[in-house]
Amino acid sequence: MLKNSNILYIFTLFFISFAFNIYYGSLGVFPIDTFAFFDSAYSINQGFIPIRDYWTSNGFLVDIIQSIFFWILGVNWYAYLIHSSLVNFLLVFFTFKILIHTGLSSKISLFYSVLVGILAYPAVGVPFSDHHSLIFSILSIYFLIFFIHKNSKLYLFITIFFLFTGFLCKQIPSAFFIILVSFYVIYFSKKNKDYSILYNYLLFGVAITSGFLLILDANDILIKDFFIQYITFPITIGETRTGSFKLIAFILSLVNEFKFFLIIFLIMIYQIIKSKKYNLLDTNIILILMALISLINQELMKNQNIVYFILPILIGIIHSKINQKIKINYFFYIPLIILLSIFITAKYHERYNVDRKFMDLEETDKSKYTNGTLISSNLKGLKWVTTIGQIKIKNEIELLQNSIKYLNSNKKDSVIISYYQFINAEINHSIYSPNRWYTSDGVSYPLNENRYYNYYINFFKKQLIKNNIKIIYTLYPLDKGSFEFVFQDDCIKTKKINNLLSEHKLINCF
């Protein structure tokens, strides 16, 4: 049976993971990110399947998991945040376990794990493919460490499971972690002269992949479609981003952006040198590599930073390595690293949770919010404030209300292309757009110069024809330019409904 203290620790981790994520996740809106998996998950329960029915280059599994939460809890804001809060809890719980495993007491492990829970998912709050992929990849590293220390087939299987799960949430950084874990499995097998470890690793990987392919087949998702949308097209994006890669400039940018990580790395390397145990299987080395991969991925992707929650994990590992038998070292270093961890957490909590930097809301007045229920019955608990509403369109709320009312009365044979991807669920629209995201940077879908451009156009048209679509609605900032390139002829008749909503009739477009 669990001791009362253990129950209290787990409850504390659970409470922090959920409370911070739900509170700060409900503060402000950045539509394209906030609702990235809302309508798409709702539409899965209406029969629309990612890859098969709408184009998606990442987030495949996030959609499916969220659809399960909506199916069980109903389509509402809290069901949306419970999903991401649960992933936040998984991270802090297993961080707690790994820190205890490395020698820290339960109380100190709890302290560092709470800091991780404050910084990890609350920065975005809502389910997000980048966070899911990174968190599940880190969990795979935790279980790799457990496996190395206990040589358990179960831990090896869980390692592979989390790697695969992370990859289906987003390909990068999970692909980098797959390489790292594979290296360690090969190295561990060779070091122990036990090649059954490598055999089991490959066997488990093949088994999970085979099961996944069977699921694709059961849902009429063609392997070719999955491979193009989820594997080869994203590779072309990476080729574009790394085409002008300059190593020296990259390293300098990395050092400049992540100074705290550099300090922590130097301390961890010093501990390794001091111990005179140069072992690749050392937890310090594994976690340094884990953090380094995360930073490199962050710098390559050029997205908002999400990696700062790794700092309390690394500081906790430093704490566990300090020789507590030497009292002067213990009483000198421990307060310093605890203060450092508190300072780092306070700094990034203020920037990302309170100011909502990840959602580009640091310049908005978040005290001037509107209750989400005034916009949609599914958004109870959301404090609606956007940059658009405070800077570009002052009557955003009124326009949204009018747009939703109009769409509810005119939704037949139509799709909605919008960053406000909660509208389908609000009006009980049964048809989802052929694409989850519409951006003009070549990341959401192939542009003209991309080798999959014609494939995408054919896919898009096929979905419109299959669903007998006659009207496409767009909401600002999206407009006709988001989709008109799909059609060769000038067959679109546009009418502006209001300053937010436009109606585009397709006349002999097919």
What pLDDT does 6 receive?
A: 84
- Cα 173 from Cα 182, distance rounded (Å): 14
What pLDDT does 270 receive?
A: 86
> What pTM, to 2 d.p., does this model score?
0.93
What pLDDT does 278 receive?
A: 76
pLDDT in tens, 97-155: 999 999 899 999 999 999 999 999 999 999 999 999 999 999 999 999 999 999 899 99
pLDDT above 60: residue 240: no
358: Cα within 13 Å, side-chain hemisphere: 26
Given the structure tokens 């997000």, which residue do they identify? 128
Question: Pairing between strand 414-417 and 383-384?
Answer: unpaired
Amino acid at the residue 97: K
pLDDT above 80: residue 251: no
435, 444 Cβ separation under 8 angstroms: yes
pLDDT > 90: percent of the chain:
72
What pLDDT does 327 receive?
A: 47
Q: What's the residue count for the chain?
A: 510
Q: Count the neighbouring beta carbons within 10 Å of the beta carbon of residue 15.
A: 13
pLDDT in tens, 160-200: 999 999 999 999 899 999 999 999 999 999 999 989 999 99
DSSP class of residue 489? S
pLDDT in tens, 400-452: 999 999 999 999 999 999 999 999 999 999 999 999 889 878 788 898 888 99
In degrees and rounded to multiples of 5, residue 435 shows phi and psi of -140, 140
Instruction: Report the range of poorest mean pLDDT among 236-240, 295-299, 439-443, 477-481.
Output: 236-240
pLDDT above 70: residue 331: no
303-306 long-range contacts, CB within 8 A, separation 24+: 303/130, 304/357, 304/358, 304/360, 305/257, 305/352, 305/358, 306/123, 306/124, 306/130, 306/131, 306/134, 306/358
Average pLDDT, the chain: 91
> Across residues 73-94, what is the average pLDDT?
98
pLDDT above 60: residue 242: no
Tokens of 155: 């831990």
Confidence of residue 494 (pLDDT cuts 50, 70, 90): very high
301, 172 Cβ separation under 8 angstroms: yes
DSSP class of residue 110? H
Buried b (16+ CB within 10 A) or exposed e, 200-220: bbeebbeebeeeeeeebeeee
pLDDT in tens, 15-37: 999 999 999 999 999 999 999 99
pLDDT in tens, 370-405: 999 999 999 999 999 998 866 777 789 999 999 999
